[in-house]
Amino acid sequence: LAVSSSSPLVNSTRTDHPKVAERVINLDHGDPIMYEHFWRQMGDKTTIIIPGWQSMSYFSDLSSICWFLEPEFAKEVVRLHNVVGNAVTEGRHVVVGTGSSQLFLAALYALSPPDAAEPISVLSAAPYYSSYPVMTDYQKSGLYKWAGEAESFDKEGPYIELVTSPNNPDGYVRHSVVNRTRGFLVHDLAYYWPQYTPISSPANNDLTLFTVSKSTGHAGMRIGWALVKDKEVARKMTKFIELNTIGVSKDSQLRAAKVLKAVSDSCEEEGSSQEAESFFKYSYNIMEHRWKQLRVAVQRSGMFSLPTFSPAFCTFFSQVLEPHPAFVWLKCEGDIEDCERFLRGHKILTRSGVQFGVDPKYVRVSMLDTDENFIHFIDRLSAIHP
Ligand code: PMP
C-alpha cells in the first residue's frame, strides 16, 4: 500500500526551533488523535444535527435484550464487521457501552458466579493492558478479583481470562493461555482492525469487546460494543449498565452510527472508484510510514530494541502484510534498568513495563499521536546514543 498524496505525513515539515528540544513529548496515553486529518477531509459526511425534541427517552429498542441500544448503531456495527471481516455477528447479541471500559466491567459482573464463597480470579498473560488490574480491583468487588499473570496461574476453580489481540502493549496476536474447563474468556479486540494487524479470520468468540476509540479514533465519543453469544450473559451485561448509568448516551450512539457508516461507505466506494481511499487504507498507510520511521530511528540510536512481527495474509487487503501496532513496546538495551526514567530524562513520557506486569527495561509508547509529536519523538530518539 502506497502513501497517498492526501496523507499528512507527505507534507510534514521538521521544526528545528531551539524550543523544540525543551518540549516534553507525552506518549504515555494511547490518545488516537492522528486520525483527525481523515475526518476533516470527510467534511459534513459525519455531521449530525439532533433537535432538542429528539432522543429524549431512556429507551431505544424494547425488542432488544439491550433495550438502550440504538437500532441504527447496531445496524452499522454489523455492517462494518461484515465489510472488514474481523468478527462473526450472526448469533450474537450486541451490547453497547460507554467505551469498551464499561463493557469490560459489565463482562466481569455478568461472568462472575453470583453467590460463590470467594471472588472469581481475573487474569491475563503479561504484558497485559495496564488498566485491567486497577479496573478489576478499584471497587474491591466481592464478585471478582485480579489474580495477576495468567501463565503462572495455578489455582483450582473458575476464572476469567482476558485475551487482548493484538495485544496492548506489545502488538502480538494472542490466544488464551490457561485452557482449563472452568474458564470464561473475554476477548478484547480493540486493535483487531486492518490498520494495525492483518485480519486473519472473523473472530468467533463467546464474548468479544470492540471500541470506536481505536478503530476510528473517536475516543471522546465513549462508545464501545460487545458481541455476546449467550443470551443470559448479554442480559446480565445490560443489567450492569442499567444499574451503572441507566443506558448509554443516545447522542453518542447516533454519532457513532454515522462514523461507522462513513467507514463502511469509504471501503465500498474504494472498490468502485480509483480515486477513493478507504479509512483503513488511509490509516494503514500512516501506520506503515510511522513504523518505518521508527525502525530507522531505533537503528540510528543503537540503544533500543523493538519487537519483530511475522507478515501474514490479510483478508481485508487481500495481501500479505506486516502488523503495525498502535503502541511500540520498546526495550532499553545495555545497562539501563529503568527505561521509563531514562526516556523521561530525555523529555519523552512513556508507560513503564512495570505497569504491564513485566520488567522496567520495557516501555510502551503511543504511535497514535499527532504528526508533530511523532516527528519530534523520532528525531529525539535517533539522537540518543550509547
Ligand atoms: N482495551 C484495550 C486493550 C485498550 O487499549 C483500551 C484503550 N486504551 C480500552 C480497552 C478502552 O477503550 P475505551 O476507550 O473504549 O474505553
Report ipTM for this prediction. 0.99
Return the SS3 of 283: helix
Other Cβ atoms less than 10 A from the Cβ of 152: the count is: 11
Q: How far is the CA of 275 from the centre of ligand 1 (A)?
A: 33
How far does the centroid of ligand 1 lie from the alpha carbon of residue 102, in Å?
Answer: 10
Closest-lying ligand 1 atom to the alpha carbon of residue 211: 15
Centre of ligand 1 to C-alpha 190, Å, is: 6
275-287 residue pLDDT tens: 778 999 999 999 9
pLDDT number for residue 14: 45
CA of 175 to the centre of ligand 1 (A): 18
- Give Rg (Cα) of the chain: 21
Residue 1's pLDDT band (cuts 50, 70, 90)? low
What is the edge-to-edge ordering of all strands in the sheet holding 120-124?
Answer: 93-98, 223-228, 207-211, 183-188, 159-164, 120-124, 144-149
Q: Whose CA is nearest to atom 5 of ligand 1?
A: 168
Percent of the chain's residues with pLDDT above 70: 95
Pairing type for strands 351-352 and 362-366 reads antiparallel
Q: Is the pLDDT of residue 357 over 80?
A: yes
Q: Does the structure show a pLDDT above 60 at 4?
A: no
- Report residue 30's pLDDT band, with 50, 70 and 90 as the boundaries: confident
**pLDDT exceeds 70 at position 15:** no
Q: What residues does ligand 1 touch, defined as CB less than 6 Å away?
A: 30, 99-101, 129, 164, 168, 188, 190, 211, 213, 219, 224
For 63, the 3-state DSSP assignment is coil
Set out the domains of the chain in order of their start, with CATH numbers.
18-41+278-382 (3.90.1150.10), 71-266 (3.40.640.10)
**Residue range 78-94: mean pLDDT, rounded:** 98
Ligand 1 centre and the CA of 356: distance in Å?
14
The residues that bridge with 159 in the sheet, in sequence order, are: 121, 183
Task: Indicate if the pLDDT at residue 26 is higher than 60.
Answer: yes
Atom of ligand 1 nearest to the CA of 213: 14
DSSP class of residue 2?
A: P
The atom number, within ligand 1, closest to the CA of 164 reads 3
